[in-house]
Amino acid sequence: MNNLLKMSPRQLFLMSSSVVHGYEYLQHAENDMSAYLKKNNVNKVLFIPYALTSHDSYTEKVGTVLKRWGFDYEGIHRAADPVRAVNEAQAIYIGGGNTFLLLKSLYDEALIEPIRNRVLNHSVPYVGSSAGTNVATRSIHTTNDMPIICPPSFNALALVPFNINPHYLDPEVGGTHKGETREERILQFHELNDAPVLGLREGSTLLVDGDRATLIGLRPARLFWRGSEPEEFQSGADLSFLLKG
């Protein structure tokens, strides 16, 4: 895994979520995501809907938006050979849903190494949302999902050398809920793990272009280091230091 960062320039667009209050589906990311795909000369997107069980309807929902933006699409579940579909893809988009189901499906279809190879060795652009962002990182240890099914490993695609917590929530000011906060759960992760964790609030995206990582979107992000106080980063912040592993 240490050699991954020496390969071809990565092109990653990692969203916290496809749905943000006050916006239609994917609307909050329309300008940035369209520009990202056009910059990488993408005409057709391979969508991977494995985080939900309704593959056809999920693909149609995402594809309708992509079509409106001027991009063609196909669902990998319709491909006769999913590995070949990845190897021929201009861009790979993995949507949100249940991260455990998604990762198990990627293992079952033998897609972990092909996706990693295409993104890291051939600079094929990768788009992730929620669960699709979780699996782009080192592991799914910092997902919020319920383990409705067990993948063979929690190790994920490792397109970046840290973890992300999509849908990061701050404690409600004056709230009466006394259960664990998202921050407390991440601190528990750091009791046993060293990897930094980037908490992406809704509407925020991590854009990776080679060795440069930039926080973009509507809201700040919160970065957690083991043994240190969390740090806040505003949209536009340079987070390239996280790519150094």
Q: Which residues are catalytic?
A: 130, 145, 167
Locate tokens 């699709």: which residue?
132
DSSP alpha helices (H): ranges in 40-91?
55-69, 82-88
55-69 and 30-39 are packed helices; what angle lies between their axes, rounded to 10 degrees?
A: 80
Q: CA-to-CA distance for 139 and 134, rounded, in angstroms?
A: 7
Alpha-carbon torsion, ordered 155, 170, 16, 192, to 10 deg:
-10
Structure tokens, 159: 């397109």
Structure tokens at 110: 């033998």
The SS3 of residue 216 is strand
- Give yes or no for a contact between 49 and 73, defined as CB atoms under 8 angstroms apart: no
* Distance (Å, whole) CA 154 – CA 138: 9
Identify the helix (H) or strand (E) that includes residue 199.
Answer: strand 197-200
Length of the chain: 245
